[in-house]
Chain A
């Protein structure tokens, strides 16, 4: 399921946050959006999932203009894992995960065996089976992230958008969550697209097929981690002096400030 972003710009009132972006996201890719704070990464994710509408331009999902989708159709194509949302503390984890089936169910329809199957697989992959009866207010940050991933998987959409999935996690949970995201990406069908907005360049380098470096609402550099995450590019966009080495295990760029 390809995403084609054509001449998209967006502004909240006066300042333009996204300035005429063109991007084609191929099926099968795990893409990282990186860039300084306020570069427009989160806004682009919200535009793709349809909770924001482009001021100009159009986002095509599998050659169909985004505007022509109903809310449910869009949700069955694109799922979102937001950054640190406020969750209803009293809600049970199982109730939360099952919300993912909403786009696939009619108003008075009860979940069928297939819905439970999809959710069951998501729960198994994210290893949250022991949390099902717990309340959302009672689980840790790492568990919360896994539960939100399970919800997005349960949604069964080929496109998955994740906003800073590792923010506010300690290093061991960061790696655990990223490996899980990679695994989820691999498990979904071949036409899956996973897009991460992430500020940690080393995580982007280690886990993604493609890195898109944003600067002030524009795509500055786009390519493989090795092409994008060079000393010169980082100096130009972030204005900071770094050393880039090759990761001893993965061979991906390793940025040391």
Chain B
């Protein structure tokens, strides 16, 4: 009898490799399609050939026009890769905040982290110091400080006996976000008139994406992902009341600190290169949870993949829907995300505020 239960458990608890590999495959297809589509359509096979030839996986067989090569390698591909990385960061940090706050509506954008981060970045932007040294940049660090301040404030305002109150957290996030945005506006308008780069950055989007942005993001993302995945089982345990999870051997205070810092780092870095993009951190984890349950060891990596895929598609839509005009990608994510948010609110209402 116990062998049956044991066998059933073994079959339930396999690392979700098949999901992850399938997810990566889908993300790859979306990437190739997104690179192929644009003002000039480039056949998918040529896209694949160009990508792989650059990666030295195999020798370039056929001659492909050098202008295609330039379009793909210098314009579209860096943009799509940045969208992948930012989407993954937002997906993973969104899932982490939701687990941490036991609140399905926590999203880096909605709880004010992103606005705080953009305020931090704006301050550095406006000091005029050259903030990039080779592959090191002050920008992500400044965003990180701003984001951390915002999330800590929202958390302190909404915490009540170990849980965050659903409505208080969102309201605190809105207030803090609005405040940070206001300060950002004041700083911008009272400074140097040449603000075009800053403005386009604040609108959110990947228009100015370069390879160097992706390279700057990767180290911070890696640090965040390592800590968050390391704590993913602990995050499962933290879904219980605090004393209960402590009785299961979790140092709750330490875990909270590690997870808040890691998730904020990932959000801040994403914000510092792509501006404010909402709802990715809300939609991606929720879809994953709907399909694959509540184990954070599955939710976290799959939210990263789902977020990356979602943002690549959203960015593709942003630059093609009303072409030649390019929409900020935040508009597309909001268009998809807001109805989703309403749906989640209604679902939470049905449960009469029983937490998550």
Interface residues of A (CB under 8 A from B): 46, 49-51, 71-76, 78-80, 82, 85-92, 94-95, 98-100, 102-103, 105, 107-108, 110-111, 113, 116-117, 119-121, 123-125, 129, 132, 155
Residue of A nearest to B99 (CB): A88
For the complex formed, measure the closest distance between the CB of A79 and the CB atoms of chain B, giving whole angstroms: 7
How far is it, in angstroms, between the C-alpha of A170 and the C-alpha of B243 when the chains are bound?
A: 27
Inter-chain CA distance A167–B217, complex, in Å, is: 53
CA distance A49 to B249 in the complex (A): 10
The 4 closest A-B pairs by CB, nearest first: A120-B6, A75-B249, A103-B249, A124-B2
A-side interface mostly = helix
Contact (A88, B246) CB under 8 Å given A102-B237, A124-B5, A129-B8: no
Question: Cα distance A124–B4 when bound, in Å?
Answer: 9
Known contacts being A89-B351, A102-B249, is A123 close to B244, with CB within 8 Å? no
Known: A49-B247, A71-B251, A94-B9. 15 other contacts (CB 8 A): A51-B246, A75-B248, A82-B247, A85-B241, A98-B9, A102-B249, A102-B250, A105-B233, A110-B13, A116-B6, A119-B5, A119-B6, A120-B2, A124-B1, A132-B5
Q: Number of contact residues on B: which range applies?
A: 35 or more
Q: Which residues of A contact B6 (CB under 8 A)?
A: 116-117, 119-121
In the complex, which residues of chain A have a beta carbon less than 8 angstroms from the beta carbon of B231? Answer: 107
Chain B positions near chain A (C-beta within 8 angstroms)? 1-10, 12-13, 15, 102, 229-231, 233-234, 236-237, 239-241, 243-244, 246-251, 289, 293-295, 351, 354-356
Q: Is the CB of B102 within 8 A of A79?
A: no
Q: How far is the CB of B298 from chain A (nearest CB, A)?
A: 10
Rounded to whole Å, the gap between the CB of A190 and the closest CB of chain B is 21
The answer to whether A123 touches B2 (Cβ under 8 A) is yes
Report the separation of the CA atoms of residues A63 and B354 in the bound assembly, to the nearest whole angstrom: 42
Chain A residues within 8 Å of B240, by CB: 85, 87-88, 99
**Chain B residue with the shortest CB-CB distance to A121:** B2
Nearest-CB residue, chain B, relative to A90? B294
Query: In the assembled complex, which residues on chain A have CB atoms less than 8 Å from the CB atom of B3?
Result: 120
Beta-carbon nearest neighbor of B297 in chain A: A110
Give every chain A residue within 8 A of B4 (Cβ-Cβ): 120, 124, 129
What's the minimum C-beta distance from B21 to chain A, rounded to whole angstroms?
17
User: Closest residue to B254 on the A side, CB-wise?
Assistant: A71
Residue on B nearest A105 in the bound complex, by CB: B233
Can you list 11 pairs linking A and B with CB atoms under 8 Å apart?
Answer: A50-B246, A75-B249, A79-B247, A80-B244, A91-B294, A92-B293, A94-B8, A99-B236, A100-B248, A116-B9, A120-B4
Question: What is the count of residue pairs linking A and B with beta-carbon distances less than 8 angstroms?
Answer: 121
Q: How far is the CB of A151 from chain B (nearest CB, A)?
A: 8
A116 with B2: CB separation less than 8 A = no
Q: A75 to B233: give the CA distance in the assembly, Å.
A: 16
Contacts of B250 in A (CB 8 A): 71, 102
User: In the docked arrangement, what's the CA distance between A229 and B3, Å?
Assistant: 43
Q: How far does the Cβ of B286 sit from chain A's closest Cβ, in whole Å?
A: 11
Contact B239 A116 (CB under 8 A): no
Collect the chain A residues with CB atoms within 8 Å of residue B294's CB.
88, 90-92, 95
Q: Is A75's CB under 8 angstroms from B247's CB?
A: yes
Contacts of A74 in B (CB 8 A): 249
> Given that A86-B241, A119-B5 are known contacts, is A94 also in contact with B12, CB under 8 Å in the complex?
yes
Q: Are B5 and A129 in contact (CB under 8 A)?
A: yes
> Which residues of B lie under 8 Å from residue A75 when comparing CB positions?
247-249
B5 partner residues in chain A, CB cutoff 8 A? 119-121, 123-124, 129, 132
Most buried by A among B244, B248, B289: B248
Counting chain B CB atoms within 10 Å of each CB, which of A49, A98, A116 scores highest?
A116
* Known contacts A75-B249, A102-B249, A129-B5; A116/B13 CB under 8 A: yes
Does B8 lie within 8 Å of A132, measured CB to CB? yes
Cβ–Cβ < 8 Å partners of A120 in chain B: 2-9
